[in-house]
Structure 1
């Protein structure tokens, strides 16, 4: 059974590894040598992080920047994808954030775009800088 809870300091080593491994696989077009374990700490600073746990093991997380009702990160361990964990984490975000919620999703990340649209998110505007991304909104 999957449980959602707030991150603790004890979760950080697993979250750092999950974040690094997921980014290297998902963003295959970027140089993996530019991605590091410490990126998790920098990228989630001042954010509220919830973890998905299965049998006392962290299998995914979502990070929220509450002042802007913004979802910054959502990553699931590949071995646990397709089990509804992303849906559960988004439901936790709905409890914590006010509507409308916002996020950005890289245009190349078509599986994530499809997931968000299935969850009721709308593409608002495509921004074309370094790597193009979609600004998305949930009302």
Structure 2
């Protein structure tokens, strides 16, 4: 499967809004279906650098980075494309937008995401509670950085 990672363009917005809802509904199985809204994408990515993973001219995933803090805010891959390397490609594409040691928050209930990030060289730095529930603050392990 050929996937390219590129910068977001405004024409991507509607497809990414839908992908965001579908992906969150699948990943956050504990949340009520319908609790994720299309406009959540706009609020969650406002002011962030957005990268799009595209296959056959269709977005299949995206990542967003808050560059000032080297913070990976979102990384979502459509459920049909998970396990095919799309997330790894998006994460690699984000590297150039991290000015310092990158961090992210991963909900504790999202065990699959935690395993993915750990497989990519991220480690748990601390634990805390947030509006969506308990989470891990993770950081890229500098020993894993190329």
Q: What's the TM-score, normalizing by structure 1?
A: 0.95
Q: Given that residues 3 and 53 in structure 2 are in contact (C-alpha distance below 8 angstroms), is that contact kept between their aligned partners in structure 1?
A: yes
Q: For residue 49 of structure 1, what is the aligned residue in structure 2? A: 50
- The CA deviation at 1:96 is 1.4
Q: Tell me if 1:25 matches 2:26.
A: yes
- Size of the aligned set, in residue pairs, is 139
Equivalent residue runs for 1:120-131 within 5 Å: 120-130=121-131, 131=133
Q: What's the TM-score, normalizing by structure 2?
A: 0.91
Which runs of no fewer than 5 residues in structure 2 stay unpaired? none
Q: Deviations for 1:59-86, whole angstroms, at most 9, x for unmatched residues?
A: 0000000000000000001111111111
Distance in 2 of aligned mates of 1:128 and 1:38: 24
Distance in 1 of aligned mates of 2:94 and 2:27: 22
Q: For residue 59 of structure 1, what is the aligned residue in structure 2? A: 60
Distance in 1 of aligned mates of 2:79 and 2:34: 21
Which runs of no fewer than 5 residues in structure 1 stay unpaired? none
